[in-house]
Structure 1
Amino acid sequence: MPGALDLGLPARVPAPVPGDLPSRITIWEVGARDGLQNESAVVPVEVKLEFLDRLADAGLTTLEATSFVHPKWVPQLADAAELLAGLKKREGVRYPVLVPNERGLDRALAAGVEHIAIFGSATETFAGKNLNRTLDEQFAMFEPVVTRARAEGLDVRGYVSMCFGDPWEGPVAADQVVSVGKRLLDMGCSQLSLGDTIGVATTGQVDALLDGFIAAGTSLDALAVHFHDTYGQALANTVAALRRGVSTVDSSAGGLGGCPYAESATGNLATEDLVWALNGLGIETGADLGKLADTSAWMAQRLGRPSPSRVVQALRG
């Protein structure tokens, strides 16, 4: 559409930031790991490396690069060691990796990784299906990973999945999520990412969960949010979390990623959609929207399908 490009890249709104919103947020970009992990066709490592380099060039400073999960479970990420060996690291950019257990930590340490993440569950059923552990047993698996990683000087993030709803158990109580999250923080995780794994959360649920963490004495600086857009609520839920004081948001360039546990799940919150909205609120992200849209359009071509991001569609057709 004529003029769409100019309309899509306005100067940042000069209005003052409302008092209940942060002046700047950190985008935790998960496209290269969470976004690509469910792709059926293996993406060449050279494409992944260029993807990460383009994302860094677009101003993103936290790029979750890959995972050291066993290739049997996630064939797409079987090239984790090769990818990290070929990565052109940029000053000021973090490249965390997901590790499932001590064997994964061994591989991460051998690759010179400085930031790792572990992936826990807020529900009994998903802990069994995803980790082959009970809800309590998952902590016994994570404890030596976190302890060793911290002793080696690594930063450790904890993901908590199924924070709002579980496809087998239904709605998840906020106090159950808080209990799991507190155990991970007490174990040594520096940050929790609260995941709406099947994309069913509403803004009221977001408020209730953050209230629970506040009541338990958790600083909101230690929390991040990770929303899927199954019901089109990811951006609204993110803004609700920002209004409460959260300042780290997980997103995926181009909206890459899906959820195998929810029919019609449209994947992660698109980084471009997030940046468009926050630019309009005067919130700094450090991201160049034009370069992000170019990168996601480029990756969509390599995946052979349009980008699901509405902003990418509007800017790049």
Structure 2
Amino acid sequence: MDKDINDYKYEDLPSDLKLKSFMEHSTPAEMDISGIKKKAFLKIHQQERKRKQKRILMYVASTAATLLLLIGIRYIIAEDVMNSLPHVEVMESMADAYDEEIEVPTGEKMTLMLADGTKIIANSRTIVRYPKHFKGDCREVYVKGEAYFDVAHDAEHPFLVHSDNFRVKVLGTKFNVNNYDASDSKVVLVQGAVELKTTNNDRVRMKPSELVNLQEGSFAEKRVVNTEEYTCWMQGMINLDGESVESVSQRLSHYYGVTILFDDAMSADRFYGKLVLSDHVSETLKAIETMTQTRIEIHGDTIYLVKE
């Protein structure tokens, strides 16, 4: 406002042309032109400021729309990339998302309640990684060992269980994951529905009472089972319904973190009944001695079952 109106440079704008005409032809000699000049100059600048603000708002709106489009494209691409990449690579990129980790001591069990209300019962020697608070479109955890999941229903935020050679995707359901041995994993669905995806891009949809066996990161078989046989470990026992000595030895090896080998003469033996999981492997194996008429020989971390 300190500048004189005479110094103003007229442009081709309608307002400028009106002012120029006014200054050249319509100024009465007795009129105080100073006030008129100031008001006219102020009005012109107000109009110009409004035009600039309008241009800025249009630019911001255009930029925001472009950013939203780019975010949408990036989300679609990211989803496609995640579906095409091997699961292990995805897990490595997710490592920073898990700020909590528990490892269950040998011979014990642990119950976790996650921030969303999901309940996890983790078996002996199981590792579970999870975030304090779930963020983003999915709820994701990692498990290695054996764990039972009772997932809180949230249709807008699917629950993903990552493991070494596969992942389980659910909305709300109950299922058991056994992945002590990454080359031979089992998932048993108790309630609801889940979808498995392996590192070899196999996709398997499961129904209640189905077991899916995965070997070396690939789908091996799917069959109907009695789910109690695969979840009774939560009550501290193994349900034996004609199970082979090889299978029982493997399950106890995983549970106690030892190596259990057996005499070839026992290969045809089958176990029936319920085997209580004691705090120490030696106590549990005493029951097997009685059931199979064998004796135990311990050599370091290796336990041998020898036929009498």
TM-score range, shorter chain: under 0.3
* RCO comparison, higher one (Cα < 8 Å, 6+): 1
Higher helix residue share: 1
Which protein is richer in strand relative to its size?
2
**TM-score, scaled relative to structure 1:** 0.24
Normalising by structure 2, we get a TM-score of 0.25
